[in-house]
Amino acid sequence: MPPERPVKAPSGTHNNSDLLVWACYRCGGFDRWIDVEELYLKAFELAPARLAWRTRGDLPDYKKCAKALQELEDPKRSDHLGLVAKQTQYLRKLTPAGKAWCEKYREALSALYGGGAVPASSSQDPAKLIRHVESTMAFGHFKRTGAVDCELWQIAEALRCLVDSSQSTWMARIDSLTSAAERTSRADALQFASALRESLPQRKDFTSLAG
């Protein structure tokens, strides 16, 4: 069945429909059927701040991912129809048109979802992130001393990631904190994020993590 709405070029801003199609491509979904859970994990890897649990930034939220897929496949709302084929409830694959779309816009999609930080959805409240950071030992130590030399697990708690998360995940969390601090005009949280960005690459316990 042909798409009911014309397929558009990728948006210049982050959105979940473009992300899922690109994640399917990055999973190799142009030559095999992939389980939706593999698709969700790849999308989370590319854009953790958009798809994480509200209270656990290191975990993908299945409901957010499933809702994004539902919107992608909604014949009344989606402008990506015809890019992804459905075999069963759990299996998806790029159509030839989907593969061609990803390859045509590879540069733009890579720039948006190529491993750099992808901000949280606008529906996520930056004030909640700031309140979480304020409640942590790492931020309290920074407020008292101006230093971020506390234990790595304390910093991980503030950034809502695991101690052994990849370096790219840590940096994405710092970018999310920076964005939240800017949106809420919190200079102290912005200074905390900047201090973490500068100091973490100097720590042996951080540089030992996978990139």
**Residues 61-95: pLDDT tens digits?**
999 999 999 999 999 889 899 999 999 999 999 99
Q: Note the pTM of the prediction, 2 decimals.
A: 0.56
| Letter string b/e over residues 86-125, b meaning 16 or more CB atoms within 10 A of that residue's CB | eeeeebbbbeeebbebbeebeebbeebbeeebbbbeeebe
Query: Could you tell me the two tokens for 125?
Result: 């409240």
Instruction: Give me the residue label for tokens 């409901």.
Output: 63
Determine the pLDDT at residue 210.
Answer: 62
Q: Which of the residue ranges 64-78, 107-121, 192-206 would you say has the lowest mean pLDDT?
A: 107-121
- Residue spans of the domains in the chain: they are 16-113, 126-203
Determine the pLDDT at residue 136.
Answer: 93
Residue 205 banded pLDDT, cuts 50, 70, 90: confident
Determine the pLDDT at residue 10.
Answer: 85
Collect all residues with Cβ–Cβ distance below 8 Å to 102 and sequence separation of at least 6. Answer: 21, 22, 25, 30, 94, 109
Determine the pLDDT at residue 3.
Answer: 43
| Letter string b/e over residues 160-195, b meaning 16 or more CB atoms within 10 A of that residue's CB | bbbbebbebbbbbbbbbbbbbbeeeebeebbebbeb
**Residues 119-172: pLDDT tens digits?**
445 445 688 889 989 999 999 999 999 999 999 999 989 988 878 877 877 887
| pLDDT greater than 70 at residue 211 | no
Residue 189 banded pLDDT, cuts 50, 70, 90: very high
Determine the pLDDT at residue 129.
Answer: 85
Class level of CATH domain 16-113: mainly alpha
